Structure 1
Amino acid sequence: MPGLFRRVDSRVEIPLSLQLYCVHDTWTYPCTPEVPVLLVSPETIDELCPPERRTGVDPRHADRLRELMDAMAKKVIEREWRERERAWRRELERFWEDVKKYEEPYAVWGLFLESCEPLGVRGPAILLCPERIRAAAEEAEVLETEAAFKRLLRATLVHEQTHAYTWRESRGAAYKAYRDASFRVLEEFIAQYTAWAHLDKGGRVLLARCSTRQPLEYRTWRFMTIIGYPHRLTSFTIAYLWSNALRGTPPSTRLEELLIRYLSHAPRWHVLDQLLLGMGRLDLRHAVREVAYALLKAVL
């Protein structure tokens, strides 16, 4: 049967009309049309998923993370003002080391892999697990099951296509950096915000409900909802600049200058300002740590 998706061993068949709905009017599909989408069972996606791509900050540890953040702030404030910048950097490194203690494995709905040879794909591939997406749609109890499934399938695909885009645009750097918790938080913020930006109002409510059962990284997009951005353009802009920063190319081209100017003149938000500043820094690692910290703090 012709279509955009290939069913491997999933027991759920996705009709062509639904496949087209999932990619229609997105910026992610035109940027990644060569990446195949495979429909797989829960067993297959678990077998092929690398450990670091199914590990996240468990929301059950939110109270402990708040305590760590409060303790950090207290230690920094107690320092002489001249020493605070250095103290903040030290405490921030310790915080991200401590975050590892609160990571737990979770069941993924979708997965981007830079290579998927076990399923006959030499290059990158996106795996979707319709069984898990349908189960999440039923559990959310926001919309009728089929309506919820349709929207979550689109959101999951757009999310994974965003990972595919940052992988390609960063020449693989985004995929490698994912092992670092702070880079993972920022990457998931971009991917989930992009997914949210491509949903209608019912889908956006649904995604918010589902995020309450997901790792904290999947909640960090929420603060963007209070800003009146053109969200699809903004999500592309952030993904593009993020990918190029990871590749080690500070904004230099005319396109990048225009994109930065666009974000700079849009309604302002401190975290986005920090992200933009970080794009031109040599110390990208510290910039990412600061932004990821702010994103995580915003959802605790």
Structure 2
Amino acid sequence: MKLVIDAGHGGYDSGAVGNGLEEKNLTLQIAQRVRDILLATYYVDIEMTRDSDVFVALSERANIANSYNADFFISFHINSGGGTGYEDYIYNGLPSGSSAAMKQAKMHEAVRTVLNQYGLQDRGAKTADYAVLRETAMDALLTETAFIDTTLDANLLKNQQFIEDLCQAYTKGIANIMGLSAKENPNPPAPDPQAIGVVNILGTNVNLRTGPSTSYSVIRQLNAPESYVVFNESNGWLDLGASQWIYYDPSYMQYIKYRNQDGSPIGVAEIRGTNINLRTGPSTSASVIRQLNAPESYVVYQYQNSWLDLGASQWIYYDPSYIKYTSY
């Protein structure tokens, strides 16, 4: 069986942007991870429309799939426009009850568990006249994972466990759609890099380099208010993934670790506002314990999806407008 995986956008076409994220980077991350899991687990031949940060025209993506004589085509995208949730598309020129629609239903079934787990809205199975759906000779599906310009969705897109769980669901959906045979002794796929924190850019023209040294080439400049997940630290440098590094200087950036392995504090939160809800968990659905008020201060033990853990099952939502956070 032959599959073509399409990472939307790329090169000078960044796709949607928001909350310090770029669609082209997320779609490539998802496409490569899905490929790696599939190749490690199932018997399948895979062609990528792009495997790096390059621009590929829409018709060329379809041509790649048609020339490869693929059995199925999937295109990964990230949504924008102020909404929230997941949705997917097949070509709107197909008759009702088409084989593409049945495959779309199988993907929806695979993804639904992850949507429920993370509280992400299911916006439904849809149709559209997109070029990669219209010009591909085989059944094709386009997914819109979440909205890059909505805070809730963007926080999930920055959560590497969410990305991993969704890639596993996409893999399961593809395997069911294509009827792939599982390998008897599969090689476990290489683990997806786990993020260790998030860095918020507070200044301008911060050099992003290809390695942890000023001797490495500058890729581009970063500017406030961009934010990026961090995968590693090396001699004062932060690894943003895909061979992208910045030097950590607290005078023009804020770095928040997710946690320390030994359970020690990662920073301190100073309350600058009034009636800040202290909750029993990292969610507005968790019970309110009491309200915090300036000038109270608390040590922080972990950072999770914009929530700060003050220890003993006590959490506050981190909003810089009324909380000052300082990392250790």
Q: TM-score, normalised by structure 1?
A: 0.26
Q: Highest CA radius of gyration, 1 or 2?
A: 2
Q: Which has the higher contact order (CA 8 A, sep 6+)?
A: 1
Structure 1 or 2: more strand by fraction = 2
Query: Which structure: greater helix fraction?
Result: 1
With structure 2 as the length reference, what TM-score do the two structures score? Answer: 0.25
